[in-house]
Amino acid sequence: MGATRSGRSWEPALGRRAALVVLMAALLTLALGGSAWALDPEGCLICHGDPNFTDPTPEPNGPTSLYVDPEAFSGSVHGSNACSSCHRGYVLTIPQHQLDASKDFRQVAIEACESCHSDAFMAYQTSTHARLYYQDEAGPICISCHGSHEIRQVRLGAETADFKMSMAQDSCGRCHQDKFEKAKHEFHFKALSLGYERAATCFDCHGFHENLALKSGEAETVQQCRKCHPGATEGFTYFQMHLEEGFENAWWGVRAVYLFFSTLLIVVLVTGIAYTTVHMQKETRMILGVFGRGLGRLFGFIRALEEESVRSRGPGNEGQSGLPDGDQTGGRDEKDGGEV
Amino acid sequence: MTTGTVATEGVRLVYRRFSAFHRFNHYLVMTSFFGLVLTGLPLKFKDSYFSQQLMNAIGGVEAAGFIHRTSAVLNILYFVLEAGYMAWYVAARKGPIFSDDSIVPGKKDWQDMKGMFRWFFGRGPKPALNRFTYWEKFDYWALFAGTVLIGGSGLMMWFPEATTRILPGVTLNVALVIHSNEAFLATGVIFIFVHFFSAHGRPESFPADQVIFSGYLPVEHYVHERPLEYENRLKDGTLDQVVTLAPSPQRRRMFGWITAAVTVFAFLAATYTFLLIIWPLVF
């Protein structure tokens, strides 16, 4: 609005230019996809739907992208909402929005979510995530896990295994990668990755918004386990989760049993393979047959060379002892060859 | 030589090695083992392409779990029957326990094994084998002991709430480790290396030993395979306890078909298992 007061001379020109830009962009968008206008009654995507649309304010890490993927947004659970239902306090002026700089955008975001999802917000308020956010504003807020424009459709109790898995990997695992890497080897996740949608993922135990820490032996933990295992007692919670593949971080008893049985496995299998190979070779002469024949030829060739060298040295010196030796090996070779 | 004279008269004689009870138990443990391996291993090797395919083919994790638990019940039934038979055998003094022709390992097995190793490397004759060879005893007792470990840990994980009412939750971690490792070991021993080769794959019985399916063995094979038992029975005059007339041609044909079907299935299952295990190591 400040622009109107600053001078009459260019005011119509700006208005006309802006109108032209809007019109052309609108025509272009309509030509590209007629449905876009229906989803975007305020026309925000005319500019924000352009992948190269950036904030011109100089930033140390290069320009900030202001792009919103129209398809991702229309496919999201908020796809039919207007942009302004979340983005409040913006005055729609083009080319630059008038921002209320006194408010942090994260606070704006939380307030926007809270206005519809007050239950989730109340649950979040008690969580470790919220405590971190209120401490130094670095902790995760709603959009850190849920995403902003591509919020996915979730029907509680009807999640697919793929969705649960990707939530664990992309939402929780983005910050808790170490936990996710360990949980992957755990049977809940194994079942999940094979398509069992009832198997627990992160939020089934830790809660959606409460993100409980869940220590063994606590009443809260028993409560969470009972959601799937109704008969769980305190002892149940001493099952160790998030273990490494080699059980390095497990109770020493688990690791000892693991090392014992892994050793047993290797010893028995290697012995078994070796024994079976030898037994089969004796019974069928198949396994080492080709190889054995090759060895026989090699020995024959060496013997021929030896004989040759003995002969060239002439009779008298060591020839007597060398020749019968050669004959002996030759005899054994032939026997081996015959067996093969 | 009783058999020699009888055989020349054109009558077919067979050696009855396994009773209906033992054959039934082998059928039981065989079917349940296939069921357990094919639904259990995909969970251990979840990243394998073949695991995903198998799970989809079975009808998902829930169906696989149902098959696994049903097979587990059958497997436990095998164990109960076999243990019951053992107890009855000992209590009723049905036969020798620590003699050379019982299933209990003895000094003769150690000597046989040394003799076999000498024979493998061309340093002696093949030892005369008795009713049960040392590798058959290994198979028998390894399966029996393995069932205790795998079955016990499996039951704990089947009923985790009941288990942790008595024991701490970390018991389930230990149970999982034992179950997973022992099951892999058993699969390796049965499918890939020891049982399929030593019991069925030897030249005398290749590709499958029909004796465990039909219970009998042609007398000529018996004399060749178990020379010592044959000799002893000839001496004691107990040969007529185990040598009988061959079953009817219809029954023989039926057993032939059963053996063929099981062999084809076992071969496919073993190949599939091998691929399933190898796949993540290669790719």
Please state whether A251 falls in left (phi above 0), alpha (psi between -120 and 50) or beta: beta
Question: Does a structural domain hold residue B139?
Answer: yes
Q: What is the CATH number of the domain that holds B267?
A: 1.20.950.20
CB contact under 8 A, B188 and A261: no
Query: How many angstroms away from the CA of A116 is the closest CA of chain B?
Result: 37
Q: What is the DSSP letter of B130?
A: -
* Residue in B164, B177, B185 closest to A235 by CB: B164
Report whether the peptide linkage leading into residue B207 is cis, meaning its omega lies within 30 degrees of zero: yes
Q: Which token pair is B103?
A: 């299933």
- pLDDT reported for residue A7: 41
Report whether pLDDT(B93) > 80.
yes
Taking the alpha carbons at both ends of chain B, their separation in whole angstroms is: 60
Instruction: Return phi, psi of residue B269, to 5°.
Output: -65, -40
Residue B138 falls within a domain, yes or no? yes
Q: Is residue B11 part of a domain?
A: no
Q: Rounded to a whole number, what is the distance in Å from the CA of B106 to chain A's nearest CA?
A: 20
Tokens for B81, please give them: 């029957």
Please answer whether residues A249 and A230 qualify as being in contact, where contact means their C-beta atoms are separated by less than 8 angstroms.
Answer: no
Q: Which DSSP helix (H) or strand (E) runs through B15?
A: strand B13-16
- For residue A254, the distance in angstroms to the closest alpha carbon of chain B comes to 5
- Element holding B13 (H helix, E strand): strand B13-16
Chain B positions touching A236 (Cβ under 8 A) are 160-161, 164, 169
Q: For chain A, give every domain's residue range.
A: 1-102, 103-153, 161-242, 254-339
- Optimal mutation site among A162, A278, A282, interface B, most CBs of chain B within 10 A: A282
Q: With an 8 Å Cβ cutoff, is B63 touching chain A?
A: no
Per the structure, the complete domain to which residue B45 belongs is given by 16-282
Q: Is residue B4 part of a domain?
A: no
B170 contact residues in A (CB cutoff 8 A): 238-240, 251, 253-254
pLDDT band at B206 (very low <50, low <70, confident <90, very high): confident
Q: Does A240 touch chain B (CB under 8 A)?
A: yes
State how far the alpha carbon of A248 is from the alpha carbons of A182, A189, A243, A261, B153, in Å: 11, 19, 8, 15, 21
pLDDT in tens, B8-54: 455 788 999 999 999 999 999 999 999 999 999 999 998 889 999 99
Q: Using alpha carbons only, what angle is made at residue B41 by residues B36 and B44, rounded to the nearest 5 degrees?
A: 135
pLDDT of A135 reads 85
Q: How far apart are the C-alpha atoms of A57 and A60, rounded to whole Å?
A: 10
CB contact under 8 Å between B203 and A258, yes or no, is: no
How close A251 gets to chain B, by Cα (Å)? 8
A·B CB contacts under 8 A:
121
From B36, B21, B20, B23, select the one nearest B74 (Cα to Cα): B36
How far from the centroid of its chain's Cα atoms is residue A170's Cα? 7
Q: What is the pLDDT of residue A30?
A: 54
Q: How far is CA A110 from the centre of its chain?
A: 27
* φ, ψ for residue A54, nearest 5 deg: -130, 165
The C-alpha atoms of residue B118 and residue B43 are separated, in whole angstroms, by 42
pLDDT tens sequence across B164-177: 999 999 999 999 99
Task: Please give the DSSP secondary-structure letter assigned to residue B216.
Answer: E
User: What pLDDT, on a 0 to 100 scale, did the predictor assign at position A321?
Assistant: 43
CA A325, distance to chain mean position in Å, is 67
Say if the Cβ atoms of A190 and B160 lie within 8 Å. no
* Distance from chain centroid for Cα A98: 39
The answer to whether B169 contacts A237, with C-beta atoms less than 8 Å apart, is yes
Residue of A nearest to B149 (CA): A261
Nearest Cα of chain B lies from the Cα of A158 at a distance, in angstroms, of: 16
* Residue B254: count of CB within 10 angstroms of its CB: 14
pTM of model > 0.95: no
Per-residue HEC secondary structure of chain A comes to CHHHHHCCCCHHHHHHHHHHHHHHHHHHHHHHCCHHHHHCCCCCHHHHCCCCCECCCCCCCCCCECCCCHHHHHHCCCCCCCHHHCCCCCECCCCCCECCCCCCHHHHHHHHHHHHCHHHHHHHHCCHHHHHHHHHCCCCCHHHHHCCCCCCCCCCCCCCHHHHHHHHHHHHHHHCHHHHHHHCCCHHHHHHHCCCCCCCCHHHHHCCCCCCCCCCCCHHHHHHHCCCCCCCCHHHHHCCCCCCCCCCCCCHHHHHHHHHHHHHHHHHHHHHHHHHHHHHHHHHCCCCHHHHHHHHHHHHHHHHHHHHHHHHHCCCCCHHHHHHHHHHHHHHHHHHHHHC
Of B172, B177, B193, the CB nearest to A269: B193
- Dihedrals phi, psi of B97, to nearest 5 degrees: -105, -50
Using a 10 angstrom Cβ sphere, with 0-12 exposed, 13-18 middle and 19 or more buried, the burial of residue A258 is buried
Helix (H) or strand (E) holding B158: helix B134-158
Is B218 strand, coil or helix?
strand
- Report the percentage of chain B scoring pLDDT > 70: 96
Residues in chain B within 8 Å Cβ distance of A276: 193-194, 197-198
Q: Is A245 on the interface with B (CB under 8 A)?
A: no
Selecting from B51, B61, B173 the residue whose C-beta is nearest the C-beta of A196 gives B61
Tell whether A278 lies on the interface with B, counting CB pairs under 8 A.
yes
Distance CA A8, CA A11 (A): 5
Taking each helix axis as running N to C, give the angle between helix A105-116 and helix A118-125, from 0 to 180 degrees, rounded to the nearest 10.
120
Provide the domain count of chain B: 1
- Tell me what the mean pLDDT of segment B144-168 comes to: 95
Nearest chain B residue to A286 by CA distance is B203
Cβ-nearest to A282 among B56, B120, B201: B120
> Chain-centre distance of CA A191, in angstroms?
16
Put simply, whether A184 touches B (Cβ < 8 Å) is no
Which residues of A fall within a CB distance of 8 Å from B119? 282
Instruction: Name every chain A residue with its beta carbon within 8 A of the beta carbon of B167.
Output: 235
Asked if B53 is an interface residue toward chain A (Cβ–Cβ < 8 A), one would say: no
Contacts of A283 in chain B (CB under 8 A): 202-203
Cα–Cα distances (Å) from B192 to A36, B187, B198, B199, B271, in that order, read 60, 7, 11, 12, 8
> What is the Cα B60 distance to its own chain's centre?
29
Identify the DSSP state of B122.
T
User: What letter would DSSP give residue B198?
Assistant: I
List the single range of A98-102, A279-283, B203-207, B273-277 with lowest mean pLDDT: A98-102
Is B160 in Cβ contact with A191 (below 8 Å)? no
Look at residues A34, B50, A297 and name the one whose alpha carbon lies nearest to residue B58. B50
The residue of chain A nearest to residue B170, with distances taken between CA atoms, is: A239
Instruction: Check if B43 contacts A (Cβ < 8 Å).
Output: yes
- At CB < 8 A and 24+ separation, what contacts does A66-75 make? A68/A44, A68/A149, A69/A149, A69/A150, A70/A33, A70/A36, A70/A39, A70/A40, A70/A45, A72/A149, A72/A150, A73/A39, A73/A45, A73/A149, A73/A150, A74/A35, A74/A39, A75/A150
CB contact under 8 A, A231 and B161: yes
B141 touches chain A (CB under 8 A): no
Rounded CA separation B18/B221 (Å): 15
pLDDT of residue B167: 94
- Pick the more confident residue, A336 or B221: B221
Closest approach of chain B CAs to the CA of A74, in angstroms?
32
ipTM value greater than 0.85: yes
**CA–CA separation, A17 and A237 (whole Å):** 68
As a residue count, chain A comes to: 340
What residues 209-238 of chain A have any CB closer than 8 A to a CB of chain B? 216, 229-233, 235-238
Would an 8 Å CB–CB cutoff place A280 in contact with chain B? Answer: yes
pLDDT at B260: 93
Chain B residues in contact with A336 by the CB 8 A cut-off are none
CB contact under 8 A, A243 and B173: yes
C-alpha span between A93 and A80 (Å, rounded): 23
Chain A residue closest in CA terms to B142: A268
Q: What is the pLDDT of residue A293?
A: 63
Q: Is the peptide bond before A95 cis (omega within 30 degrees of 0)?
A: yes
Q: Which residues are CB-neighbours of B180 under 8 A, at least 6 positions away?
A: B44
Per-residue pLDDT of chain A (340 residues; tens, 9 = 90+): 344 444 444 445 556 666 677 667 666 655 555 444 455 666 788 888 888 888 777 777 777 788 888 888 888 888 888 887 887 766 565 556 666 566 677 777 888 888 888 888 888 888 888 888 888 777 888 888 887 888 866 666 667 888 888 888 888 888 899 989 888 888 899 999 898 888 999 988 998 788 888 999 999 999 999 999 999 999 999 999 999 888 999 999 999 999 999 999 999 999 998 998 888 888 777 666 556 566 666 777 777 777 777 777 765 554 444 444 444 444 444 444 434 3
Within 8 A by CB and 6+ apart from A132, the residues are A138, A139, A140
